[in-house]
Structure 1
Amino acid sequence: MAMPVSVTKPIVGVDVAKNELVIYHAELDLLEAIVNDKAAIKKWLKALPGPVAIAIESTNIYHLEFADLAYEAGCEIYMVGGYELHHYREGVKVRAKTDALDAKLLARYLKNEAEELRPWAPPSPLYRQLLSLFRRRAALVQARVALVQSWANEPLLKTAFDDQIKAMQRLETLVEKTIKDQLKDAGLLGQLKRCMEVEGIGFLTGARLITAFQRGDFRNADAFIAFLGMDLRVSKSGQKDGRRSLSKRGDPEVRRLLHNAAMSARRTKAWKKFYEEKRSRGFSTTEALVMLARKLARIVFALLKGQSEYQPKAA
């Protein structure tokens, strides 16, 4: 991953919506709005006197085309998560939320926090394709489960409903096959097989971790864990040692899959002792599963980074 750098270019904040981009030029104290489409973005970039440093909130997929085109034009891009921007807004006591205010706030955030930020670079096409497939599968599963729960006590349409659920399950299977085909075309099935040797890691978890690994050149396992949102947020001040919790940055689906992997792994001979030792020390079931999930993610990272074969954990 890129190291933090000082921002030397003029700073611009960009608030993104599906149809519009609200842009604030900090040095000129100038606000403008353009249509969020390729032609308008290219025209705006061409009119710039030179490359700028852009702070942009990552929102769904609507920021991607702007970010890609601005990066190609030589601009420095800094992605700001909604979580960070929300708390920054509260910290600097901005009491209103409008597109214009958010564009200004993004520029202010970049100006004041630049040394702690890392410039963004576009992910590979493979990463984007796989991430899109996993997100669509997650949405499909969530919708199917919600339907099953809400229709559980409706007998009159049971046959038609069962057909609908089976159709959704077939679509899930097709998505999973497409994920496997993407990995095969990229020559990564060997990597997947290596990951699945780890107790508890199945096809989906292994494929999702491989997807995450494609995003950047992670310095070490800690950086990979942080990217997954599995790192701990510590709250400690004076004599008070507050509750630790996961940062939960990034895609929640990878954490859900790792949690399921840990639930499976805790029953295996390799990891049962690890899990029970954590429980015996007073950790809750959830805390022990998180520790095991993080352990599994670290092992998979080591296998992917070192291109090594998994050595089963001794009992």
Structure 2
Amino acid sequence: MHGSTTIPTCFVGCDVGKAEVVVFDSRTGRTTKIPNTGAALARFAASLDPDALVICEATGGYEAVLLDALVTAGRHVHRADARKVKAFIRSLGILGKSDAIDACALARYGTECHDRLARWQPRDRQRDRLHLLVSTRRDLVRERVACRNRLQAPGMAPIEPRLCRILAALDAEIAGLDTDIETLINACEPLRQTVCVLRSIAGIGPATAAQLAALMPELGTLGRRQAAALAGLAPHPRQSGSNDAYRRTRGGRPEIKQALFMAALAAAQHNPTLRDFYQRLKSNGKKPIVALIAVMRQIIVSANARIRDAQLS
């Protein structure tokens, strides 16, 4: 995604649902409904002013048809973070909730923040497929952990055979996904190069490398502070008056932070440079979790720099 120096002539908020898209046009002040189908959205995109800016939210993939239609028609669109939009709506004092209210709020969000909003760019289809495989694997791993915990709980003997069969099925599906992920990465040269660079960093194994390649495709194009912030590893101050509390890492993509946790644990034990860095922070009075997060930040910053250098060479 990238920004735009063009000043939009109007702002269009789109609240996307499974069956239809509720549209608010700031120029006319009208709210309309459009079926969430390729043909209807293609006509809608073609009818927009070339300098219009469309704002929609990420809605579990239901916005994909709208994004494709707008990009194909050459229109500018921003896919907003739902948390930021909700905070914006609360700041306006709006308590009601409806599709029309949300569409209007999205248009107003674009009006006030358009100079800071990145324009949507379609992702590579292979990377999209990798994202789907990695996300599915992550969900199944969570289910497997929950099932194992349930199996170890007291009184589970009556359902133990069923839980064991579920665990066996989950193990088989996760193994199958691992094979599919490896096959996809080996068949796509850009992905293979990215994963090779990530694997060269101590602590990052094949699963973590695949997750980073899928969940953070911007690696190699960011500054060090941007990379840390996108990974949810940027410390934010908590200071008021004479009170200066520990800084907390907030925002970003939590799934990246989760993927880096085990990598940081391994690096803090087996990578000489990061192990010394981790121990030095602890000896200076930092809590172990704070020192570990600093290691995670070092890993993602290093990954970003190495991928950037590999792309330039």
Scaled by the length of structure 1, the TM-score of the pair is: 0.89
In structure 2, relative to structure 1, the CA distance for the partners of 1:37 and 1:226 (3 Å cut) is: same
1:81 and 1:94 mapped to 2: Cα distance? 18
Partner of 2:93: 93
State whether residues 52 and 76 of structure 1, in contact with CA within 8 Å, keep that contact through their aligned partners in structure 2. Answer: yes
User: Match for residue 42 of structure 2?
Assistant: 42
Deviation for aligned residue 1:215: 4.1
Moved over 6 A (4+): none
* CA deviations over 1:175-233 (Å, ceiling 9, x no partner): 12211111111124344233223221111112222334534762423222333232233
Q: Which residue is 1:147 aligned to?
A: 147
Aligned residue-pair number:
307
**Paired residue secondary structure (2:158):** coil
Could you say if the C-alpha distance between residues 75 and 190 of structure 1 is closer, same or farther in structure 2, counting changes exceeding 3 Å? closer
| Cross-structure match for 1:2 | 2
Closer/same/farther in 2, CA of residues 235 and 64 from structure 1, 3 Å limit:
farther
CA contact (8 A) 1:127 1:215 kept: no
Contact 2:6 2:51 in 1 (8 A): no
**Distance change in 2, residues 1:49/1:306 (3 Å):** closer
C-alpha displacement of 1:242: 4.8
- Aligned mates of 1:46, 1:190 — CA distance in 2: 38
Which residue of the partner structure matches residue 122 of structure 1?
122
Tell me the equivalent position of 1:54.
Answer: 54
Q: What secondary structure does 1:233 align onto?
A: strand
CA distance in 2, matches of 1:264, 1:172: 22
> Residue in 2 aligned with 1:312?
none
- Per the alignment, residue 31 of structure 2 pairs with 31
Q: Give the Cα–Cα distance (whole angstroms) in 1 for the partners of residues 294 and 187 of structure 2.
A: 34
Q: CA contact under 8 A between 1:127 and 1:212: conserved in structure 2?
A: no
Structure-2 change in CA distance of 1:216 and 1:262 (3 Å):
closer
Aligned position for 2:232: 229
Structure 2 distance, partners of 1:203, 1:130, is 13
Preserved CA contact (<8 Å) 1:138 1:253: no
Aligned to 2:305: 302
Aligned AA for 1:256?
Q
Q: CA offsets per residue over residues 10-53 of structure 1, 9 Å max, x none?
A: 21001112222111001100001122222221232244455521
Q: Which amino acid aligns with 1:176?
A: D
Normalized per residue, which structure has more helix?
2
Q: Is structure 2 residue 173 aligned with structure 1 residue 158? A: no
2:249 aligns to what? Answer: 246
Matched, 1:220 2:223: yes
Match of 1:134 in 2: 134
Going from structure 1 to structure 2, the CA distance change for 1:203 and 1:216 (only over 3 Å counts) comes to closer
Gaps of 5+ in 1: 309-315
Rounded to whole Å, the distance in 1 between the matches of 2:204 and 2:183 is 19
The 2-side partners of 1:51 and 1:115 are apart by: 14
Q: Normalising to structure 2: TM-score of the pair?
A: 0.90
Q: In structure 2, what is the equivalent of residue 192 of structure 1?
A: 195
Shift in Å at residue 151 of structure 1? 3.6
Query: What are the equivalent positions in structure 2 for 1:6-17 lying under 5 Å apart?
Result: 6-17=6-17
User: Which segment is superposed worse, 178-187 or 265-274?
Assistant: 265-274
Which residue identity is paired with 1:161?
Answer: L
1:49–1:248 CA distance, 2 compared to 1 (3 A): closer
State the AA in 2 paired with 1:103: A
Deviates more, 1:17-26 or 1:241-250: 241-250
1:192 aligns to what SS in structure 2? Answer: helix
The amino acid that maps onto 2:55 is A
- Give the Cα–Cα distance (whole angstroms) in 2 for the partners of residues 260 and 280 of structure 1: 22
CA distance in structure 2 between the aligned counterparts of 1:269 and 1:118, rounded to whole angstroms? 37
CA deviation string 1:269-311 (max 9, x = no partner): 5122211211222222221111101111111222211129xxx
Q: Distance in 1 between matches of 2:281 and 2:176?
A: 39
> Which residue number in structure 1 is paired with residue 266 of structure 2?
264
Distance 1:170 1:303, change over 3 A: same
Other-structure match for 1:313 = none
Tell me, yes or no, if the aligned pair for 2:219 and 2:308 is still in contact at 8 Å.
no
RMSD after superposition: 2.2
Give matches, 1:98-109, under 5 Å: 98-109=98-109
Relative to structure 1, is the Cα distance of residues 3 and 40 closer, same or farther in structure 2, using a 3 angstrom cutoff? closer
Contact 2:147 2:163 survives alignment (8 Å): no
CA–CA separation in structure 1 for the residues paired with 2:176 and 2:42: 37
How has the CA–CA distance of structure 1 residues 26 and 108 changed in structure 2, closer, same or farther, with 3 Å as cutoff? Answer: same
